[in-house]
Amino acid sequence: IGDADQFEFQAETAELLNIVAKSLYSENEVFIREIISNASDALEKLRYNRLTSEGGAVDDAPLEIHIRTNKYDNTFTIQDTGIGMTKEELVKNLGMIARSGSKAFLESMKEKGDASSSIIGQFGVGFYSTFMVGDKVTVYTKSHEQGSMGYSWTCEGGVSYKISEAEAVSPGTKIVVTLKPDCRKFAEDGTVEQIIKKHSTFVGFPVRLNGKVINTVQPLWTMEQKDISDEHHLNFFQYLSGNDHEHYLYKLFYKTDAPLNIRSIFYVAEERPTLLEMTQNTTGTSGVSLYSRKILVQHNTENLLPKWLRFLRGVVDSEDIPLNLSRELLQNSALIRKLRETITSRMIRFFLEQSRKDPEKYLKFHENYKMFITEGVLAEETQDKKEEVAQLLRYESSSLPAGEVTSLHDYVSRMETDQRNILYLCAPNRHLAETSPYFEAAKSKGLEVLFCFDAYDELMMLQLKTFDSKQLSSLENQAVVDQMKPHDGAKDESIVGSDSAEIKLSSSDGAGLASWAKLSLDEKVTDVKLTDKLDKHPAMVTVWEMGSVRHFIKSQYLTNP
């Protein structure tokens, strides 16, 4: 055995370790899930390598995870026959934080200024979770790379770690956790068995506890839908999301053989994603993993779904995907594109079905995920589907009581046969919309107007432009409303005029006022005209053509009041 080299942890890692080690997180049992998941990843990598490398070293050690508990020396040991680590990989993977979850954890903690241990569970801290239960952690590992040596990595205390060459290390990784005095239950066979069953049933490799195989459930997506219970689904969802407290709102089991073979399951989490989750991970990774005949091709596969569907959790298994698809090919392949299109259409159809089946539940979904759907209408990659996606959106309407919402489709079905425009008005809230000068003319003509309360709605409407061959028109472009006929049964009060007629300006006074206003406003306006269409407001700003005009006007005001 060679001399040990001592290494300092990267500052962030040391900080994380310190927090984790001191935490009294009541669910510290999740460390078992974390290291089983790492072992499973390592086995997946090895299996993938074996299948894709041409004539690489063939060794036939079974792909398995072994866990041993020892009550006499208070240790918990896990061993896998996976890919293993080289010395460089040990330093990089266990000495620094690469994992986004850990980073998010530290950030969130700084934000809240609180070391509350409950957020540890929320993020999952991967390998470092072993320090919640262990005083000392030793990792023995040997990479499958040819000519690799065995190494041991030891950390006691958490400021630094030691690496030395080690003999008689089998290919793969073994982790020995020496348990803290109050964590001795993790050296008990029965306790550990329960925990494995609870968190790790779906791991794709046999998990043996002191010799006995614990997980015997077959992959859910390969089962028949009728054989999958709600409990199966919940467990699987929690396994995928790595969070035992989360529940799903929707699940979709989707199986097809055309245009290509797909066995898949998707979940939508009940809880609204945090702002952090919404804004990070916009680069294209999804929450869905790609398999081929039960073998993992890639976790959180990029490009498998359009970005706006990144809130989905699930798996897609397709026999049509060759296992040796390289990462680059995975990004550009026509197969992936086809998968993406098929799944996206199915998802949209699924949400539409849900909105009809249980509108109340759908509204809950809509409330939490509207931003993603809107993003789907705006996104470059979904341009050919933007109307389909837009069907999922809901807005309040002048024809409905406050709080009730309608779809664009339903709006269209209520339109007069010769109406060519879908009218909308963007305002911060219902009251301001209803009392807005822009709304007056449409109201007096009895025309239905969609009310949009989110700042990004306007952008969406501008981008969508048409729906069902009807033009989307903002009320700020009053010319559109002027051209429209009153809705059946509504008399156009704006033409009749109101009792304010008595105190009307003479036409010469009016013209004088208008030209004064135009002169004073100078370059800010193209024209000032008299109108008898306003009832409750003295004046109104209109635009000729909607572009990003409104935002432009606003920002002009801010910089140049």
Check if the beta carbon of residue 547 is closer than 8 Å to that of residue 462.
yes
- Tokens 């008898």 map to which residue? 532
Report in angstroms how near the CB of residue 27 gets to ligand ADP at its nearest.
17
Report in angstroms how near the CB of residue 372 gets to ligand ADP at its nearest.
24
Residue nearest to Mg ion (CB): 126
**Token pair listed for 84:** 């293993």
Nearer to Mg ion, 38 or 289 (CB): 38
> What is the rounded distance in angstroms from the CA atom of residue 26 to the CA atom of residue 259?
48
Q: Tell which phi-psi region holds residue 269, choosing left (phi > 0), alpha (psi between -120 and 50) or beta.
A: beta
Nearer to ligand ADP, 25 or 372 (CB): 25
Report in angstroms how near the CB of residue 94 gets to ligand ADP at its nearest.
6
Nearer to Mg ion, 34 or 457 (CB): 34
The gap from C-alpha 176 to its chain's centroid, in whole angstroms, comes to 35
Q: Which range in 38-46, 422-430, 447-455, 472-480 contacts Mg ion by CB under 5 A? A: 38-46
DSSP string, 186-220: GG-HHHHHHHHHHH-TT-SS-EEETTEE---PPPG
- Cβ count near 117 (within 10 Å): 17
Q: Which range in 35-43, 164-172, 202-210, 344-352 contacts Mg ion by CB under 5 A? A: 35-43
Nearer to ligand ADP, 203 or 426 (CB): 203
Instruction: Among 13, 38, 102, 130, indicate the residue that binds Mg ion (CB under 5 A).
Output: 38
> What is the rounded distance in angstroms from the CA atom of residue 370 to the CA atom of residue 364?
10
Q: Which range in 32-40, 149-157, 229-237, 242-250 contacts Mg ion by CB under 5 A? A: 32-40
Each residue 502-531 as x (binds Mg ion by CB under 5 A) or -, in order, gives ------------------------------
> What is the rounded distance in angstroms from the CA atom of residue 199 to the CA atom of residue 269?
18
Coil, strand, or helix at residue 96? coil
Instruction: Report if residue 171 touches Mg ion, rule: CB under 5 A.
Output: no
Nearer to Mg ion, 126 or 150 (CB): 126
**Token pair listed for 320:** 């049509």
Residue nearest to ligand ADP (CB): 126
Which of ligand ADP, Mg ion, none is residue 207 near (CB under 5 to 8 Å by kind)? none
- The continuous run of DSSP H or E covering 215 comes out as none
Q: Residue 173: which of 305, 11, 45 has the closest Cα?
A: 45
Which of Mg ion, ligand ADP, none is residue 39 near (CB under 5 to 8 Å by kind)? ligand ADP
Report in angstroms how near the CB of residue 75 gets to ligand ADP at its nearest.
17
- Cβ count near 527 (within 10 Å): 10
> What is the rounded distance in angstroms from the CA atom of residue 233 to the CA atom of residue 37?
19
Check if the beta carbon of residue 175 is closer than 8 Å to that of residue 78.
yes
Residue 48 φ/ψ, nearest 5 degrees: -60, -45
Report in angstroms how near the CB of residue 35 gets to Mg ion at its nearest.
8
Coil, strand, or helix at residue 180? coil
> What is the rounded distance in angstroms from the CA atom of residue 23 to the CA atom of residue 392?
43
Q: Which residues of this chain interact with ligand ADP, rule CB under 6 A?
A: 34, 38-39, 41-42, 80, 82-85, 93-94, 99, 126-127, 173
Which of ligand ADP, Mg ion, none is residue 376 near (CB under 5 to 8 Å by kind)? none
Q: Which residues contact 467 (CB under 8 A, 6 or more apart)?
A: 387, 390, 408, 412, 422
Report in angstroms how near the CB of residue 44 gets to ligand ADP at its nearest.
10
Report in angstroms how near the CB of residue 12 gets to ligand ADP at its nearest.
13
Q: Which range in 33-41, 232-240, 454-462, 540-548 contacts Mg ion by CB under 5 A? A: 33-41
Report the length, in residues, of the chain: 561
- Tokens 């000495």 map to which residue? 95
Report in angstroms how near the CB of residue 126 gets to Mg ion at its nearest.
4
Which of ligand ADP, Mg ion, none is residue 196 near (CB under 5 to 8 Å by kind)? none
Q: Which range in 122-130, 138-146, 190-198, 295-303 contacts Mg ion by CB under 5 A? A: 122-130
Instruction: Report if residue 126 touches Mg ion, rule: CB under 5 A.
Output: yes
Q: Which residues contact 542 (CB under 8 A, 6 or more apart)?
A: 438, 476, 477, 478, 479
Q: Which range in 110-118, 124-132, 326-334, 412-420 contacts Mg ion by CB under 5 A? A: 124-132
Nearer to Mg ion, 126 or 446 (CB): 126
Nearer to ligand ADP, 300 or 531 (CB): 300
Torsion from C-alpha of 39, 45, 46, 52, nearest 10 degrees: 170
DSSP string, 519-533: HHHGGG-S-----S-
Nearer to ligand ADP, 84 or 314 (CB): 84
Report in angstroms how near the CB of residue 80 gets to ligand ADP at its nearest.
5
Report in angstroms how near the CB of residue 174 gets to ligand ADP at its nearest.
8
CA distances to 210, 215, 239 from 65, rounded to whole Å, are 11, 11, 17
Check if the beta carbon of residue 66 is closer than 8 Å to that of residue 82.
no
Report in angstroms how near the CB of residue 125 gets to Mg ion at its nearest.
9
Nearer to ligand ADP, 186 or 438 (CB): 186
Q: How many residues bind Mg ion (CB under 5 A)?
A: 2
Report in angstroms how near the CB of residue 79 gets to ligand ADP at its nearest.
9
Nearer to Mg ion, 31 or 236 (CB): 31
| Contact footprint for Mg ion (CB under 5 A) | 38, 126
